[in-house]
Amino acid sequence: MVKEKSDFGHAKMPDIVVRVIDQRGTTMNVHTVQTMGTKTTNADVSYNLDGSESPNVLNGHDAISRSFWDGPALMIRTTLKLSDGTEERVLDRWELSDDGQTLTNSSTVSTEKGGAVLKLVCVKEKEGSPQ
């Protein structure tokens, strides 16, 4: 994560975010490790890039995602059922720089109580470099 280029709005910015993305055919698997203070969380999700539904569990909640392309940007629309029964909708926009070294993920989160726009910028690590 490049902190100077990322923006978490009113939410607390994590200290570290590491993402490993593995695409095989029309399936994209994303493993995310995030650290805030002394707490580290892991998340694993899979997206079908052919537009079919992708069921996942996000932060303990059942979620359904569908992906589509907007020019060179991968868009992922996700709906989650929260504990109180309300829905949270997230529209992610994944954009890779022309040189393939920088991934910008912009997320628009909407709930009945409001929303937020978040931006996470990650730079590809060189093989063998320390975290």
**Domains contained in the chain, CATH given:** 16-123 (2.40.128.20)
Question: What was the pLDDT predicted at 130?
Answer: 53
Residue 96 reports pLDDT greater than 70: yes
- Please state the length of the chain: 131
Q: So what's the pLDDT on residue 3?
A: 93
DSSP codes, 64-120:
EEEEEEETTEEEEEEEEE-TTS-EEEEEEEEEE-TTS-EEEEEEEEEETTEEEEEEE
pLDDT above 70: residue 27: yes
Going by C-alpha positions, the residue among 120, 127, 111 that lies closest to residue 18 is: 120
Residue 65 pLDDT > 80: yes
High-pLDDT (> 90) share of the chain, %: 81
| pLDDT attached to residue 20 | 94
Using CA atoms, how far residue 97 sits from 52, 94, 100, in Å, is 26, 10, 5
Using the predicted structure, report yes or no on whether residue 129 has a pLDDT greater than 90.
no
Q: Are 64 and 55 in contact (CB under 8 A)?
A: yes
In this prediction the pTM is: 0.88
Question: Looking at residue 37, what is its pLDDT?
Answer: 93
